[in-house]
């Protein structure tokens, strides 16, 4: 999915982790991520992988909100609660805004497994800063 100028995914952590964005707007960002390749030594989905997915979705939504303001989004806080283990398949993350302001945004990100069971709930806050020249 093309997310616009400055938002290419090639060569990024999202690409390396197999994250595929399927929907992107300031009001809702959705992506999937495979469990395989994103596990900890016990074969369970790594909590850090869930955080990467959550931060990515909240940052994309924040960036899309910031663009018309001639600003860019930078993450300043993330927290996550891991509810259940996943060993295989895909997880899906859905980010919805809690707050969309002129200087900050906050998103709730719910990550579910293929049976639509909640795996993780995260919250990310981004600061909106003036876009650097050429961005």
Q: Which of helix, strand or coil describes residue 104?
A: strand
Residue 55 annotated to the active site = yes
Per annotation, catalytic residue among 10, 55, 108, 114: 55
CA–CA distance, 124 with 56 (Å, rounded to integer): 9
Residue-wise over 1-16: b if at least 16 C-beta within 10 A, else e?
eeeeeebebeeeebee
Find all residues with CB under 8 Å of 81, minimum gap 6, and list them. 120, 121, 122
Question: CA distances (Å), 13 to each of 25, 114, 134, in order?
Answer: 20, 23, 23
Q: Catalogue the active-site residues.
A: 55
């Amino acid at each position: 999915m093309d997310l616009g100028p400055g938002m290419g995914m090639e060569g990024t952590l999202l690409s390396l982790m197999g994250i595929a964005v399927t929907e992107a707007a300031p009001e809702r960002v959705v992506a999937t991520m495979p469990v395989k390749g994103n596990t900890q030594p016990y074969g369970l989905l790594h909590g850090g992988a869930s955080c990467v997915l959550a931060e990515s979705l909240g940052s994309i939504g924040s960036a899309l909100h910031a663009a018309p303001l001639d600003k860019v989004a930078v993450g300043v806080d993330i927290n996550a609660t891991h509810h259940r283990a996943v060993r295989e398949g895909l997880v899906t993350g859905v980010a919805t805004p809690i707050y969309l302001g002129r200087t900050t945004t906050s998103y709730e990100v719910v990550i579910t497994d293929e049976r639509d069971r909640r795996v993780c709930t995260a919250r990310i806050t981004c600061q909106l800063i003036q876009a650097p020249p050429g961005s």
